[in-house]
């Protein structure tokens, strides 16, 4: 008896959600951010393949990120069997990315990936809103904001690359402008605190240094993003630089996240 491909791909998820119901409660805000990061990394790397950038590097990233995305969906349990639609979207985006990376540039695979990316991104953002965090209540807001910026560090890369193609959505420039403002404000809030927003200042020198490292890279990345947000075509070399900066910022944010958890 033959099973449909999408059902086979969802079997790890099905086994995961058949475990103890309390497993879903352990899926944290960082876990959901990890998933969103991978969704954008897969899409960004596929897009960079379209524009011929460091092909072998991005082929490897598509393979690694899509495998991690699928595997984590299964082990996290995707918050219960009722969320099989989310699991199917993960299967769709990973399958489409692998098809495209393998040389299938058919419009169906491309449209499926680009249509699924924002759907997954939105779902993961909703999941993060009420997910538990492994930090004290005093720092939960700051920690959640760090997770949001981790995701944005990868979304910026995806958006810039799409501007080099004809694949960017019509409202992409406005959405990018909003994300730039959000990131700009959030970095300062994380470093200095924002009482009105319920955000504490960086609680120790290690976290502050990590955030300052992000801010230094942001000073280089922001003008590149503003060029695209203004409607100008970004230089392909700047898109490559943005990819490097975004990954370096993610590394800094990962360290900051770890230090928040260690408080």
pLDDT > 90? residue 40: yes
**Domain definitions of the chain by residue range:** 1-132, 134-263
Most confident stretch, 58-62, 112-116, 208-212:
208-212
- The pTM (predicted TM-score) of the whole model is 0.85
Q: What is the pLDDT of residue 187?
A: 97
What confidence tens digit (pLDDT) does each residue in 89-98 have?
998 999 988 8
- d(CA 261, CA 34) in angstroms, rounded, equals 15
Can you spell out the DSSP letters for 45-80? Answer: HHHHHHTTSSHHHHHHHHHHHHHHHHHHHHHHGGGS
Q: What is the pLDDT of residue 39?
A: 94
pLDDT > 80? residue 26: no
Backbone φ, ψ for residue 194 (5° rounding): -150, 95
What confidence tens digit (pLDDT) does each residue in 116-171 have?
999 999 999 999 998 999 899 999 999 999 999 999 999 999 999 888 887 788 88
Mean of pLDDT over the chain: 84
Can you spell out the DSSP letters for 117-151? Answer: HHHHHHHHHHHHHS---SS-GGGHHHHHHHHHHHH
Mean pLDDT check: name the lowest of 10-24, 74-88, 132-146, 180-194: 10-24
Proportion of the chain above pLDDT 90, given as a percent: 54
What confidence tens digit (pLDDT) does each residue in 203-225 have?
999 999 999 999 999 999 999 99
């Amino acid at each position: 008896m033959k099973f449909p491909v999408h059902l086979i791909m969802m079997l790890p998820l099905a086994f995961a959600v058949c475990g103890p119901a309390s497993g879903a409660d352990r899926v944290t805000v960082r876990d959901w951010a990890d998933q969103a990061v991978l969704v954008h990394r897969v899409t960004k790397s596929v897009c960079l393949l379209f524009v011929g950038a460091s092909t072998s590097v991005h082929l490897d990233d598509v393979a690694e990120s899509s495998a991690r995305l699928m595997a984590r969906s299964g082990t996290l349990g995707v918050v219960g069997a009722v969320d099989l639609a989310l699991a199917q979207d993960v299967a769709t985006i990973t399958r489409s990315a692998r098809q495209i990376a393998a040389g299938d540039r058919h419009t169906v695979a491309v449209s499926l990936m680009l249509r699924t990316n924002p759907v997954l991104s939105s779902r993961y953002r909703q999941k993060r809103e009420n997910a538990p965090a492994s930090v004290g209540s005093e720092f939960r807001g700051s920690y959640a904001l760090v997770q949001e910026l981790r995701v944005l560090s990868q979304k910026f890369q995806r958006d810039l690359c799409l501007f080099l193609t004809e694949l960017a959505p019509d409202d992409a420039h406005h959405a990018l402008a909003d994300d730039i403002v959000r990131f700009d404000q959030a970095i300062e809030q994380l470093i200095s605190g924002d009482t009105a927003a319920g955000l504490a200042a960086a609680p120790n020198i290690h976290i502050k240094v990590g955030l300052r490292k992000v801010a230094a890279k942001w000073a280089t990345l922001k003008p590149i993003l503003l060029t695209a947000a203004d409607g100008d075509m970004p230089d392909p070399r700047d898109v490559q630089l943005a990819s490097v900066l975004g990954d370096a910022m993610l590394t800094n944010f990962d360290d900051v996240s770890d230090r928040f958890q260690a408080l």
